[in-house]
Structure formats: structure tokens, C-alpha cells
């Protein structure tokens, strides 16, 4: 099978290379960049999309986030290997005895990339005038909201210290205080003055058409040039605060060229030809790249399971819309809201077959709501149920719930409920992700073995979002991004009032006409676990609450976890000092990396 896969990849690459003159021309451009530029330590990486903005608080694009990781920093940083918090712009911090305030002490002599001093005033300004400004639509404000719905108070103590305080203990406060800090001397007027339409001028400041030398940074790099649709070039920030153990300036890598390459196939071609220094390795590409490691001078790093989840969920919403019609057919709703039905489905899914066939063995079966990289993860040893493939157990649970199999007279059996209704429903999945469609296809096959009829509804992601927003769907093969080590980052998924509580979405603010929405007892128990968990700043004291949450989630199965891929990344061996992990990737410690044979 691996040999056949390799042959298919070779054929595909030959076809693409023969057909893509533009790629060859781009390769020439890249080669000239490497050879003609001033010889400084540099790497060339890829990004699948142009940035949407250079204004960090307004960013809503994952791909822009990669850019901000190079140019902006906060008071604290996260160790990409361990998840531990480390000093950033702040050299230290102290938590008050009542756990309602944190005092940060900034490093002395900090400077912005334009040479201006970076002070406590910049930090206080960033929080109070930008992130907590209700006239600025930033998602950062959401993560700063505390457990009781209030926002932190940020105040200056002296020229080196500031205090962030809350009305009640809130564990994520420290980690969330690591948001990017922006220069007051650039933005002070923009958060005060308005344009002719009455909008803050801040909302149009630092768009992607802004000259790079006007983007003032505090991170390891500044933007040297930007050519839309082609590349971003970064150079070392001469005023970056970080020094190595000898006192020498960091970063050691002086230049980064970020190529804009949308296609995975084109990235693959560029990497194999030596034009890129890294690439994310998809499971289908792994066999071919693995055999080329030594000859190509690169290493494929494995960070373990990726953060986040791939899951199957049923629509548990019992409410009616403004038109008076139930969001879910009441017959189906009764099935979906039966715990033994959901557990039977979980036992009936052959997730090991998914891992072997869909992910070519390069995947991981998931059995808990919190990522294994988090210290708050709990598994079977902590009493969290797992559902290994067991069709007999599935049939037993269905029988106990009143379902029964009947011969359809065509050599197969069909499942019916205790009122004579055939168990049949639609299974929604987005078309753009092949592995997810493949999982949905297998789910339909596995459920057919239990007598259920799951009708695939493969549509583009915009249509998926429309269905989810309208709450008119039966079952959905979806995914959520990873929250890393902080369990509260998934609060909006699991809280009964959360904006991503898709399996039982309540009325959104200002939404009228929804009647009959119910929050189950187990959802209330999860709400209580999250509410208690954030009021303890000691991780050991928090763990019991999140262990209870994971146990409830696996018993009730609003999300039936499937398989997620491993995080694999190929990096040229010339890049030294890589400490790879799913949490931080290859370049989380970029300012400390070196390159050889540049």
C-alpha cells in the first residue's frame, strides 16, 4: 500500500511540475532571493494565505496569527514544549494573597522597534483603551472577560509596575495577560478620533496597505517588505529585549522570508526542491517524504496528536424557532437525547479502522475533551470512560433503550424505535476536508452495521455554518481547534450559554422567537465545574473540577470523539535548536535558533 501511495504521489508531482510554469518562475525568484541578498542567517517558510491585517487586536485570521508571532509580544510567553509561562516583556509577576490581582514588573529599558521607550503606560493603554474598548471589535476582549462576566481593572503602580485586578479569582487571568502590547505613541489619537462615518480611526490603522516601516513592533522581528500574494520579508528587530546566555542580541536568524503559497501540493514541490526550510506534513505525504529525509537534508518531527478534536455530534436542541417549528424532528430528537443511543453509536464506531485507513496509521484515537498535552487531561485511569469498538455492546444498549432490529426482507436488518420509526437521519460534513468526508463515510458504514441509515450531506463550509447557525441539522462531523494547556479556552463550547455550544445552541443576544430551549442537568453540572475551576489559581486544586467535566462529557457524549492526526513537520537540518511539539510547533523558540550553511 505504501509503495502504491508513493507511486501516486510521484505521478501527481510530475503532472503538477509539468503543468505549472508559474511555480518554476517562482522558484527562480526564490533562488535569486537566497543568492543575491546580503548574506545573513535566514530561513524561508510558507504561509497559505496573505495576512488580513497588521493590527493585532483586529485579527480574525489564523494565518495572520503566524505573522504576529514574529512581530508582537506580551508581558508573558508560553514555553512551546512544556506549556509553562515564562517572562516576556515583564521580568516577573506576583499574585495577591486573595488571588484577585496580579502585579507585573516590566523589564528595564524596553524599546519599540522605532527606538521609543516601551513603558508601563503602553501596557495600561493597550488594555484600557484598546482591548477593553467596546468601540473596538476585538476577540481579545472575550478572553479577558472573567467568570462573573466582568472585566479586569488595569492600573499603573509606578514606572516599572502595573496591577491587573478582578472581582473574583479567575485562573486564566495570568495566561490571558500575555496578549500583544501596542505602542501608545502610535495609537493614542486613533482610539480617540473618529472618521466622517463616526468610526474610530483605529479600525483602519495598520491595514495590509500600510508601509512596513510604519508597523512598530516589540517582537524579535520587524516587517522589511510585503508583496501581496507573494511574500513577506522580516528582519531582526535591533531593539528586541531578549539576549542569549552570553549577553549577545537575539534573534540569531536575521531574516525570514515568508512565501505565500496556498496549495499544499505547491508547498510540497517547493520543499522537495529545497526552496523552503519547513512544511507541515500531511499523512498522505508522509511515506514519500520519510524516505527522502537523509537525501533531502531534513528531519520530520512528530509532536504527537494535534490540539483540538474531530468529533461526531447529534443535535440535542429541543427548542422551536420563530416559525414555531422544532429545530429537530421530535422523533429524531427523542433518539438523540437518549444517552444510551449516543453511547451505542460511540461503541459502534471503528475508530481504529479510521486511524489505519484514513490517517495511514499516523493518527491518534481521542477519548477525552481536554488535549493530552494539558496537565488537566484525564483518562481511563482517572475514571473517564472510553468507548472501544464493540458492536455487541452497542446493540445491547440500543435494545435496553427500546430499539430493535428487523429484517427488511433483502438480506439486511434495519433499526426501529419502540414506536415503529426507522432510525434514519442526515449526517452533515464539510466538503473541503477530505479526511473529514472519509470519516463521515465510514461512520455511515459503521452505523449501517447497527441498522441505522445515516444519509451523507456533503456541502461547502459556508453551507455547514448556515445550517449550524439555523440549528436545523441532525448529526454533524465537525472539528474544534485546540485550546492548548488551559481548559477554560473551550469554555464557549461547553458552557450552556456559549456561542459555540453547537449541540444545544441557546438563543444568542438579541435573538427573538426561540421557545422551549432546555438546559439538561448534566450541562448544568459542566457549567458548575467550569465556574469552580476558574476560581482556583493553583493548578492542583483546579484539576478535580476539570476531571469531573471530562467524566461527564464522556458519559453523556454530546461530542463523540473520533481520530485526529499527529502533528508532523519537516524542517531542514541546517536549522539548529528545534524543540518540536504540537503545542509550539517547530519555531516557538525562533529567536534562539541558528542556521548553518546559509
- Pair (526, 395) in one structural domain: yes
What is the predicted pLDDT for the residue at 220? Answer: 97
Q: Answer yes or no: do 531 and 398 share one domain.
A: yes
Q: Which of 100-114, 154-168, 189-203, 435-449 has the lowest mean pLDDT?
A: 189-203
Q: CB burial class (10 A; 0-12, 13-18, 19+) of residue 158?
A: exposed
Look at residue 62 in the predicted model and tell me its pLDDT.
65
The predicted pLDDT at position 481 comes to 80
Residue 497 in any domain: the answer is: yes
The confidence band for 22, taking pLDDT boundaries of 50, 70 and 90, is very low
With bands split at pLDDT 50, 70 and 90, how would you rate the model's confidence at 34?
low
- pLDDT tens for each residue of 328-353: 999 999 999 999 999 999 999 999 99
- pLDDT higher than threshold 70 for residue 86: yes
Same domain, 179 and 315: no
For range 377-392, the mean pLDDT: 97
Residue 145 lies in a domain: yes
The predicted pLDDT at position 12 comes to 36
Q: Give the pLDDT mean for 366-392.
A: 95
In a domain, 491, yes or no: yes
- For residue 382, the enclosing domain spans 308-406+474-565
> Over pLDDT 90: what percentage of the chain?
77
pLDDT one-digit tens code per residue, 531-550: 999 988 888 999 999 999 99
Q: Give the whole-number percent of the chain exceeding pLDDT 70.
A: 93
Is the pLDDT score of 417 beyond 70?
A: yes
12 in any annotated domain: no
Grid coordinates representing 3 are 509503495
Domain boundary among 187, 202, 228: 187
Of the residues 143, 167, 187, which one is the last residue of a structural domain?
187
**C-alpha to C-alpha distance for 506 and 492, rounded to whole angstroms:** 12
In a domain, 287, yes or no: no
Residue 313's CATH number: 3.10.105.10
Region 572-594: mean pLDDT is 95
Question: Where does residue 33 rank: exposed (0-12), middle (13-18), buried (19+ CB within 10 A)?
Answer: middle
Q: Is 79 left (phi over 0), alpha (psi -120 to 50) or beta?
A: beta
Residue 441: its pLDDT value, please? 98
Segment among 46-60, 208-222, 289-303, 563-577 with least mean pLDDT: 46-60
- Is residue 443 within 8 A of residue 273, CB to CB? The reply is no
**CB-based contacts of 123, cutoff 8 Å, min separation 6:** 75, 89, 104, 106, 154, 162, 181
Higher-pLDDT residue of 243 and 489 is: 243
How many other C-beta atoms can be found within 10 angstroms of the C-beta atom of residue 76? 21
Alpha helices in 471-570 (DSSP H): 491-494, 521-533, 539-556
Count CB atoms within 10 A of the CB of residue 440. 23
**Does residue 527 belong to any structural domain of this protein?**
yes
Average pLDDT, the chain: 90
Backbone angles phi, psi at 81, to 5 degrees: -95, -45
C-alpha cell at 117: 521607550
The enclosing domain of 177 has a CATH number of 3.90.76.10
Q: How confident is the model at residue 33 (pLDDT cuts 50, 70, 90)?
A: low
Higher-scoring residue by pLDDT: 35, 235: 235
pLDDT for residue 305: 93
How many domains are contained in the chain? 2
**Range scoring the smallest mean pLDDT among 151-165, 386-400, 528-542:** 528-542
Is 540 within the bounds of a domain?
Answer: yes
Residues 375 and 513 in one domain: yes
Residue 25 has pLDDT above 60, yes or no: no
Q: How confident is residue 23, by pLDDT bands cut at 50, 70 and 90?
A: very low
Copy the grid coordinates of residue 100.
484577585
CA distances from 236 to 79, 89, 229, 263, 534 (A): 21, 17, 23, 28, 38
- On the question of pLDDT at 3 being above 70, the answer is no
| Mean pLDDT of the region 482-487 | 80
Per-residue pLDDT band for 442 (boundaries 50, 70, 90) equals very high
Choose the final residue of a domain: 166, 187, 208: 187
C-alpha 375: how far from its chain's center?
18
Residue 222 located in a structural domain: no
Amino acid at each position: 500500500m505504501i509503495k502504491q501511495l508513493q507511486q501516486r504521489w510521484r505521478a501527481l508531482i510530475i503532472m503538477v511540475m509539468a503543468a505549472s510554469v508559474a511555480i518554476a518562475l517562482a522558484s527562480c525568484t526564490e533562488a535569486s532571493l537566497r543568492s543575491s541578498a546580503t548574506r545573513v542567517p535566514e530561513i524561508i517558510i510558507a504561509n497559505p494565505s496573505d495576512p488580513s491585517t497588521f493590527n493585532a487586536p483586529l485579527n480574525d485570521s489564523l494565518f495572520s496569527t503566524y505573522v504576529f508571532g514574529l512581530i508582537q509580544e506580551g508581558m508573558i510567553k508560553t514555553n512551546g514544549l512544556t506549556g509553562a509561562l515564562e517572562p516576556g516583556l515583564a521580568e516577573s509577576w506576583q499574585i495577591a494573597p486573595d488571588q484577585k490581582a496580579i502585579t507585573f514588573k516590566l523589564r528595564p529599558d524596553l524599546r519599540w522597534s522605532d527606538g521609543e521607550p516601551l513603558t508601563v503606560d503602553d501596557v495600561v493603554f493597550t488594555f484600557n483603551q484598546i482591548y477593553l474598548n467596546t468601540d473596538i471589535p476585538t476577540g481579545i476582549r472575550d478572553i479577558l472577560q472573567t467568570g462573573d462576566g466582568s472585566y479586569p481593572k488595569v492600573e499603573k503602580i509606578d514606572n516599572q509596575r502595573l496591577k491587573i485586578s478582578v472581582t473574583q479569582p479567575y485562573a486564566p487571568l495570568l495566561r490571558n495577560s500575555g496578549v500583544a502590547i501596542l505602542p501608545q505613541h502610535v495609537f493614542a489619537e486613533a482610539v480617540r478620533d473618529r472618521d466622517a462615518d463616526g468610526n474610530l480611526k483605529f479600525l483602519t490603522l495598520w491595514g495590509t496597505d500600510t508601509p512596513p516601516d510604519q508597523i512598530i513592533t516589540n517582537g524579535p522581528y520587524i516587517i522589511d517588505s510585503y508583496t501581496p500574494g507573494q511574500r513577506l520579508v522580516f528582519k531582526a528587530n535591533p531593539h528586541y529585549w531578549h539576549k542569549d546566555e552570553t549577553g549577545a542580541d537575539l534573534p540569531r536568524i536575521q531574516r525570514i522570508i515568508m512565501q505565500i503559497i496556498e496549495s499544499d501540493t505547491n508547498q510540497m514541490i517547493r520543499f522537495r526542491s529545497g526552496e523552503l526550510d519547513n512544511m507541515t506534513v500531511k499523512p498522505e505525504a508522509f511515506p514519500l517524504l520519510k524516505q527522502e529525509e537523509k537525501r533531502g537534508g531534513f528531519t520530520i518531527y512528530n509532536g504527537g496528536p494535534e490540539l483540538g478534536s474531530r468529533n461526531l455530534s447529534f443535535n440535542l436542541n429541543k427548542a422551536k424557532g420563530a416559525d414555531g417549528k422544532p429545530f429537530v424532528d421530535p422523533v429524531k430528537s427523542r433518539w438523540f437525547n437518549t444517552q444510551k443511543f449516543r453511547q451505542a453509536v460511540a461503541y459502534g464506531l471503528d475508530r481504529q479502522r479510521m486511524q489505519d485507513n484514513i490517517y495511514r496509521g499516523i493518527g491518534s484515537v481521542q477519548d477525552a475533551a481536554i488535549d493530552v498535552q494539558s496537565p488537566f487531561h484525564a483518562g481511563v485511569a482517572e475514571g473517564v470512560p472510553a468507548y472501544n469498538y464493540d458492536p455487541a455492546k452497542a446493540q445491547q444498549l440500543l435494545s435496553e433503550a427500546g430499539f430493535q432490529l428487523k429484517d427488511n426482507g433483502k438480506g439486511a436488518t434495519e433499526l426501529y424505535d419502540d414506536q415503529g420509526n426507522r432510525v434514519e437521519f442526515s449526517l452533515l460534513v464539510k466538503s473541503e476536508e477530505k479526511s473529514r468526508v472519509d470519516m463521515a463515510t465510514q461512520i455511515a458504514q459503521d452505523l449501517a452495521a447497527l441498522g441505522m441509515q445515516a444519509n451523507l450531506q456533503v456541502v461547502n463550509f459556508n453551507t455547514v455554518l448556515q445550517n449550524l447557525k439555523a440549528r436545523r441539522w441532525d448529526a454533524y462531523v465537525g472539528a474544534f481547534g485546540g485550546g492548548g494547556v488551559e481548559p477554560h479556552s473551550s469554555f464557549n463550547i461547553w458552557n450552556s450559554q456559549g456561542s459555540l455550544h453547537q449541540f444545544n445552541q441557546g438563543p444568542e443576544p438579541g435573538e427573538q422567537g426561540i421557545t422551549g430551549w432546555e438546559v439538561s442537568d448534566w450541562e448544568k453540572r459542566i457549567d458548575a465545574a467550569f465556574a469552580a475551576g476558574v476560581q482556583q489559581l493553583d493548578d492542583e486544586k483546579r484539576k478535580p473540577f476539570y476531571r469531573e467535566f471530562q467524566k461527564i462529557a464522556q458519559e453523556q457524549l454530546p461530542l463523540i470523539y473520533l481520530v485526529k492526526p499527529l502533528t508532523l513537520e519537516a524542517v531542514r537540518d541546517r536549522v539548529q535548536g528545534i524543540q518540536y511539539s504540537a503545542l509550539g510547533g517547530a519555531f516557538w523558540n525562533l529567536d534562539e535558533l541558528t542556521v548553518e550553511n546559509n
